[in-house]
Amino acid sequence: MKMRTNLENQKGFTLVELAVGAVVLTIAILTTAFSILNLQGLSELSKEKVIAVADANRVLEAMRDTANTSVSALQSTNWTTWAATNVVGTKGSNEVQLPQETVTAVIASGNPAQVTLTLSWNHKQRTYSYQVITLMTDRT
């Protein structure tokens, strides 16, 4: 018969095993926390991109309405100023203002006219932009 020692009868975790478990748990919690913060930032940026597309569409629709009447009226209108007063500067209480939002419109001469619309804004000290290039002509 073999005699049992006190060490063989003890059950539980050693201090080293507990420390390793704590380190693994800490790494898992920190990884999850950083992932959530990163996803939150991406969600904000995605929301801002949707707003930028909506604002660009508002300007383009006004341009199309003008171009349907006359391409020369489209070309003679200062669309950068128009967008600053009618889109960027007139956001209602339920609309989100993009940080430092600017709209720039460049219209080439000719019929059809090539329109380049660029909408820029800042997100966490970085500038993002959305650009649309299209052709517009009057309807005859």
Residue 91 sits at the vertex; the CA angle it makes with 126 and 132, to the nearest 5 degrees, is 55
3-state secondary structure (DSSP) of residue 53: helix
pTM over 0.75: no
Domain ranges for the chain? 14-136
Asked if 113 contacts 75 with a C-beta cutoff of 8 angstroms, the reply is yes
Q: What is the pLDDT along the chain (140 residues), one digit of tens a residue?
A: 555 566 566 677 788 999 999 999 999 999 999 999 999 988 988 988 888 888 889 899 999 888 888 888 888 889 888 888 888 877 766 677 788 888 989 988 888 889 999 999 998 889 999 999 999 888 76
